[in-house]
Structure 1
């Protein structure tokens, strides 16, 4: 291991250990300076909101933190790019997610690591925790179990349940693709799209793009077995749904004449020859982390008509879930939506894409040390520290919730929603 790698590792460990272990803590929101304060906070005063909530459960949103509290929940079966390391090892990631909720949308979040990887046990545990929270963010759960878990929880709970590895990723990819297609003069309903990696994020991405008008007849999906095609037997349901009637069998076959490559797979799968075989003005989203399916330097040396995105912060056009999940939850909580619908996801996509086409505020340029950022091949998504995200995305999501009939109250922005 290099000296730089040793330093990076130690810096990360020190960050998590000092000055106190972990990344989150409890903050008090009411005065506690006098005996009278404590009598209101606990006995006997606390009996009054208890009686009110027993008479009308909706009063939990008036008298407790339920309406601004999200459970960030994992079983540790698919931690980042590290794999199945178990519930306890996932805790730093879940704490980190809670930190991002608070920082970007002033949402309080509690990380919960569930000590089972049996889907039925996990579902029942989370369902029983439901009264505590205004929403559930599932995280780092492997496919295909994650589909069963999310579906069952959505059906059995009256609060929004959102698996960010699926839908957060899909929203950012869809927003980036919306703008890349605009720049390349192409349309979603007419492109040939190749997706590599039909796991949680890939499946959700295809479902969202289909809702937005993707022509599935022109889609090719590649997984470990090669191109998913209708002559393959015993495909899991999420693979069978995207199997094509085609003679293509390899990634090389599928990419000939393709307009878009979306990689959610492994490093260095996309070769220069494959890239050269794509259609004019190609779009390449190489999102494997930390090493993409093709390095941007190599890709741009092969094609000068390319628009490219990665999952990395050290290249332009980072596909970063923090652009979506705090804000879609903020809008959802602020209209007390019972679930997150496809239309709410699309509203988030459209608001994100539109924001990237606007002039960038000076505060954002300063935060990123940039002299200029403007809509174009190297700027197709807003930056996470753009203060307009909290202004634009939540009301767009809430408006879609109201149109879909899942909002239980008019949208009302949360105080100081810009967070910590």
Structure 2
């Protein structure tokens, strides 16, 4: 296990060796299996020709029937161009495929969603838009994944506005939703409110830019937010501000609207007097120093989200005054993981047939995650559910679906309780199916 001192065998190396070996053995992580009975070739007269022609004609007259008569109602496409894969950078669509397969597994296991990995050998942003829009007849939702910034902002905005199915970029929205959920409970424990909290964001990539925007929608004051990138604190007088306006208008907007003090400098100058630190930047340790945390307000909240090593080790952050610390890792308390968000979000989006996923819906999902943890009993080492608490996923689904109804975006209008029952049944059956296939030997088990 990797330790704070860096001693002992690396858990990451062990998992890497296992992943390579098992990938060669299984030759992929997903497959297509029938969901209708086939006992003889004559059955294809129903499922294929001649019977299928009648189904096609019905859908041709009313395309909404594709949700009732095909797999569209429960399907999502996982789209990537491979330009920002995990911490590996631009490894291309072929290299991205194993990651997208893994994402599809999470969709199925935690959300009951049939997701298909589609790495595309297309990189120009408007060409990507054309490709994704062309897939709309086949899928009920689109998950954009591992696409470089600032291209990812353009794609999410344009596709969300031009498609009639929900479009999600998990690197932005999933991370933002999980972060907000953790912050909601951290604020409760430390006696703070969004409106008056001073927040520092270290790292100004896709995740933190999306998180700042979601925080604004959740009641945080942009004037009390400071953002830091590799060149220092964002402010309107920076030498590169004109370049930002041209090349990254999303980051430029925040450079103008945040940091009302017009503070300058780097990370230590930004952190002085802050209530909350959210770092999604260069892996540590040492990216964030303990003495900088000691200059934050008392009962400081520190989210050090870099992987595989957080910007500062949790114990060091606490020694220097942090009351609550979260990371992106499962071997420390308070893991901020976008996998807590997207399976339930897509389950709810598909169940309600929402046309899009907006900020109020994401905030509602974050609040549901926070409520789940609060009902269990929050404390400094438990501010957000763990991945093992699978009961949270149908609750997130119901929260998203009912909010879509409230926002006037849903094509199916049910009560929150009905959405919850439906989501729980689907997710539960899919987990049972996987366990059954393993127990019967149709999926070969592995030794742990």
TM-score category, normalised to shorter length: over 0.9
Distance 1:182 1:247 in 2: 28
Q: 1:34 aligns with which of 40, 54, 62?
A: 40
C-alpha displacement at 1:12, in angstroms? 1.6
Deviations 1:354-406 (A, max 9, x none): 000113xxxxxxxxxxxxxx410000011112132133111111111011100
Distance 2:225 2:263 in 1: 13
- 3-state SS, counterpart of residue 306 of structure 1: strand
The runs of 5 or more residues in structure 1 that have no matched partner are 360-373
Q: 2:250 aligns with which of 238, 250, 255?
A: 238
C-alpha displacement at 1:3, in angstroms? 6.7
The runs of 5 or more residues in structure 2 that have no matched partner are 1-7, 432-448
In structure 2, what is the equivalent of residue 122 of structure 1?
A: 128
Answering whether residue 385 of structure 2 is matched by residue 382 of structure 1, we say: yes
Distance 2:159 2:277 in 1: 32
Answering whether residue 230 of structure 2 is matched by residue 212 of structure 1, we say: no
Distance 1:162 1:416 in 2: 21
Task: List 4+ stretches of structure 1 deviating above 6 A.
Answer: none
Deviations 1:119-145 (A, max 9, x none): 111111111111100000000001100
- 3-state SS, counterpart of residue 277 of structure 2: strand
Q: 1:14 aligns with which of 6, 21, 36?
A: 21
Distance 1:8 1:129 in 2: 34
Distance 1:404 1:349 in 2: 17
Q: 2:354 aligns with which of 330, 337, 349?
A: 337
Answering whether residue 116 of structure 2 is matched by residue 110 of structure 1, we say: yes
Normalised to the residue count of structure 1, the TM-score between the two structures is: 0.93
Deviations 1:38-63 (A, max 9, x none): 11111111111101101111110111
8 Å CA contact 2:85–2:146 kept in 1: the answer is yes
8 Å CA contact 2:77–2:141 kept in 1: the answer is yes
In structure 2, what is the equivalent of residue 46 of structure 1?
A: 52
In structure 2, what is the equivalent of residue 291 of structure 1?
A: 309
Distance 1:123 1:241 in 2: 23
Q: 1:263 aligns with which of 274, 279, 293?
A: 279
Change (3 A) 1:217 1:68: same
In structure 1, what is the equivalent of residue 184 of structure 2?
A: 178
- 3-state SS, counterpart of residue 402 of structure 1: helix
Answering whether residue 369 of structure 2 is matched by residue 396 of structure 1, we say: no
In structure 2, what is the equivalent of residue 85 of structure 1?
A: 91
Answering whether residue 291 of structure 2 is matched by residue 273 of structure 1, we say: yes
Answering whether residue 152 of structure 2 is matched by residue 151 of structure 1, we say: no
Report how many residues are paired. 404
- 3-state SS, counterpart of residue 92 of structure 1: helix
In structure 2, what is the equivalent of residue 370 of structure 1?
A: none
In structure 1, what is the equivalent of residue 333 of structure 2?
A: 316
In angstroms, what is the RMSD of aligned CA positions? 1.6
C-alpha displacement at 1:230, in angstroms? 1.0
